[in-house]
């Protein structure tokens, strides 16, 4: 017996390819899904690489900024050291200047106090020490003015001028002598005072 197929030939061809069509469509959908996953992963990797580049750039800029700040800090430390040295030098100069006696000012003031008819021949300064009531040593500069005058009243005027001076205190006539020199009377004197 012969087999007879009553299904038309087109229908048989269609049925033969029907399972293949389903397989192909599933395969196609799988490939599309895999492509989408690959594309998503590729975009995700690109986003991660962009973030990594940004972080790397940020780290490099922070590293450069750190180097700049360290250099600025070392410069600042050097400047602070120089400033400290200058302050120390200024303090030393200030202490030396405060202890320094301004002789030009003293001599100018004394020259303004000398009355006419009186001449100075010498000026000497010595360091003196005295003890106070508490038995503490006090040191000061003692100035001795030596000179001569044609009248003894000029010496008295000079002593009064020295007493009124802001530079000297306790002026005392240490020595006074009358001399005749070629028929002229000359009064020699030494006046001592404490320098303020």
What is the model's pLDDT at position 163? 92
Extents of the domains making up the chain: 8-100, 103-195
What is the model's pLDDT at position 19? 59
| Helix or strand (DSSP H, E) at 189 | strand 184-195
pLDDT bracket for residue 5 (50, 70, 90): low
What token pair was written down for 127? Answer: 């360091």
What is the model's pLDDT at position 154? 94
Q: What is the pLDDT of residues 93-149, one digit of tens each?
A: 887 776 677 788 888 999 999 999 999 999 998 888 888 888 888 888 899 999 999
What is the model's pLDDT at position 2? 73
Contact 120, 107 (CB under 8 A): no
What is the model's pLDDT at position 38? 92
Fold for 103-195, please state it: Alpha-Beta Plaits (3.30.70)
Pairing of strands 118-131, 168-181: unpaired
Q: What is the pLDDT of residues 183-196, one digit of tens each?
A: 889 999 999 999 87
What is the model's pLDDT at position 43? 92
What is the model's pLDDT at position 24? 77
What is the model's pLDDT at position 137? 86
Tell me the C-alpha distance between 71 and 77, whole Å: 10
What is the model's pLDDT at position 54? 94
DSSP H stretches of helix in 100-172: 103-113, 152-163
Q: What is the pLDDT of residues 50-88, one digit of tens each?
A: 999 999 999 999 999 999 999 999 999 999 999 999 999
What is the model's pLDDT at position 63? 94
Q: What is the pLDDT of residues 168-186, one digit of tens each?
A: 889 999 999 999 888 889 9
């Amino acid at each position: 017996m012969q087999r007879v197929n009553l299904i038309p030939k087109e229908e048989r061809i269609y049925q033969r390819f029907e399972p293949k069509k389903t397989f192909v469509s599933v395969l196609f959908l799988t490939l599309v899904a895999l492509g989408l996953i690959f594309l998503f992963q590729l975009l995700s990797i690109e986003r991660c690489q962009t973030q990594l580049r940004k972080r790397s750039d940020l780290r490099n800029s922070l590293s450069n900024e750190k180097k700049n700040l360290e250099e600025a800090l070392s410069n600042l430390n050097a400047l602070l050291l120089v400033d400290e040295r200058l302050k120390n030098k200024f303090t030393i100069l200030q202490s030396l200047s405060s202890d320094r006696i301004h002789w030009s000012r003293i001599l100018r003031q004394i020259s303004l106090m000398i009355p006419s008819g009186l001449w100075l021949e010498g000026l000497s300064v010595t360091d003196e020490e005295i003890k106070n009531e508490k038995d503490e040593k006090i040191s000061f500069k003692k100035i001795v003015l030596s000179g001569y005058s044609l009248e003894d009243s000029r010496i008295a005027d000079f002593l009064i001028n020295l007493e009124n001076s802001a530079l000297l205190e306790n002026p005392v006539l240490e020595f006074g002598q009358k001399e005749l020199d070629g028929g002229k009377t000359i009064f020699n004197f030494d006046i001592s005072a404490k320098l303020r």
